[in-house]
Amino acid sequence: MAGSSRVTAFTGAGISTESGIPDFRSPSGVWTRYDPRDFTFDRYVDSAEVRASSWAMRREFFALAVEPNAAHRALARIEESGRGGAVVTQNIDGLHQAAGSTHVVEIHGTARTVMCIGHAPRRGAPAGCGFTAPYTWAFAQVDAGVADPPCPECGGLVKSATVSFGQLLFPGVVEEALALAAGSDRVVAVGSSLQVYPAADVPVAAVRHGARLAIVNDEPTPLDRIADVVVRGRAGDVLPAAVEAALTA
């Protein structure tokens, strides 16, 4: 990174597990208590029971009261230094913004916001009126006895502003991520299995446009073969030291 001026980070669940957020697929993960088959977009639309269960799951998520870790803060420091520092993330937790990053592209949306998706959206496409609110709005409604809070503006369904199974990605998000990749001279992929597409196209596109790729991950990934640097280790251990070395070189 020392010789780079347009650094983009690409992050996955591994950067946030160090903050105490369990991986959805780990032995202690969320899916040990909830059936993922119930959380498709169409099931959410069709079932008030699924919607109520979804709010319970989100409350469990936010009850963790997690904070950004050293890896999140290290990436924010790159942006602060003026070396680019945009973050493309598969995570929905908002920890990059909490750490100080201001240019964050959330491919799978954010759990910190809720949105109207309309009365009967189909084919995985939200069709709401534009209403959005902090996630605490939904929790307040549930606490007041409204198990399935409707949109206060049009009466439609309200959902966490995350991309569920079977839901289309939000318009323009992948395009923005790919544009960042194409304009980067260094991409640092952190805590991602690099197996979920189209998200994993981001580091591939960067390499295709001439960027150098560094991967920090506990396990091998399919893109190790095209990376210039591969580091096996925890993001919170590796990134702070790497960023310090790069910014003082």
Contact 244, 237 (CB under 8 A): no
- How many Cβ atoms are within 10 Å of 27's Cβ, its own excluded? 7
Q: How far apart are CA 209 and CA 189, in angstroms?
A: 16
Q: Answer yes or no: are the C-beta atoms of 229 and 206 closer than 8 Å.
A: no
- Alpha carbons 173 and 169: distance in angstroms, whole number: 7
Cα gap 198→183, rounded to integer Å: 18
Q: Tell me which residues are annotated as active site.
A: 108
Domains of the chain: 1-20+67-108+169-249 (3.40.50.1220), 22-65+111-162 (3.30.1600.10)
Compute the distance between CA of residue 28 and CA of residue 24 in angstroms, rounded to an integer: 8
The model's pTM: 0.92
According to the annotation, is 151 in a ligand binding site? yes
Q: Is 116 annotated as a binding residue?
A: yes
Per-residue pLDDT of the chain (249 residues; tens, 9 = 90+): 998 999 999 999 999 988 988 765 555 555 566 666 777 999 999 999 999 999 988 888 888 888 999 999 999 999 999 998 899 999 999 999 999 999 999 999 999 999 999 999 989 999 999 999 999 999 999 999 999 999 999 999 999 999 999 999 999 999 999 999 999 999 999 999 999 889 999 999 999 999 999 999 999 999 999 999 999 999 999 999 999 999 997
The answer to whether the annotation marks 89 as part of a ligand binding site is no
Could you tell me the CA-to-CA distances from 201 to 90, 108, 244 in Å, in that order? Answer: 12, 14, 28
Q: What length is written for the chain? A: 249
Residue 4 to residue 225: CA distance in whole angstroms: 21
